[in-house]
Amino acid sequence: MTTYNVGYLIGSLAKHSINRQLAQALFKLAPRELKFHEIPYKDLPLYSYDYDESYPEVATAFKKAIEGSDAVLFVTPEYNRSIPGGLKNAIDWASRPWGTNSFANIPSGVIGTSPGAIGTAVAQQQLRSVLGFLNSPQMNAPEAYIQFKPGMISESGEINDPATAEFLGNYLSEFHQFIARVLTVLPRNA
């Protein structure tokens, strides 16, 4: 089977983010054909088109990390019923300058956790809208709005609840199949 290089972005910049914890637990449930690497963005300055003439190295490296991935997984919280500002800023950097959108034709998935009862449903819908505009094929189902509860993730970084672990494992299996389907139609340049 083909192995896919999946870049992931954590929507929260916090070191101890529950979404970072979720991401690490997810990777333990993933099919062996998915290899994950974080695409960091915390050092990006606030985007302005003033940078378009001479892109900073940190932004160029960020764009290359996305373009070098077979797919991208967003693991994001919800801030004030929206995506975090830092994540939106990173997306803006990756989509610019005009005509150099790094997300075009790269399959994407969105997942997230929050203590709230609806998880990150609103943020995910807004992120999907942005990714649609950026021509990133998206896995639209299954959706995964995870309510974070104390004890959900063990000290060793594993999902404690068997039903949640099964759901998340299925989510990643579906993501794997989605990536394979998209890249069959839109093969990546080697």
CATH number of the domain at 123, please.
3.40.50.360
**How many domains does the structure of the chain reveal?**
1
Q: What is the pLDDT of residue 1?
A: 77
Task: Give the relative orientation of helices 162-185 and 18-27 as an angle to the nearest 10 degrees.
Answer: 70
Q: Report the DSSP beta bridge partners of residue 145.
A: 112
For residue 190, tell me if it sits in a domain.
no
21 in Cβ contact with 157 (< 8 Å): yes
For residue 26, tell me if it sits in a domain.
yes
**Which domain does 117 fall in, by range?**
4-185
pLDDT-derived band at 188 (thresholds 50, 70, 90) equals confident
pLDDT for 190 beyond 60: no
* Predicted TM-score of the model (pTM): 0.96
Q: How many other CB atoms are found less than 10 A from the CB of residue 80?
A: 9
| Residue in the block written with tokens 């997810």 | 26
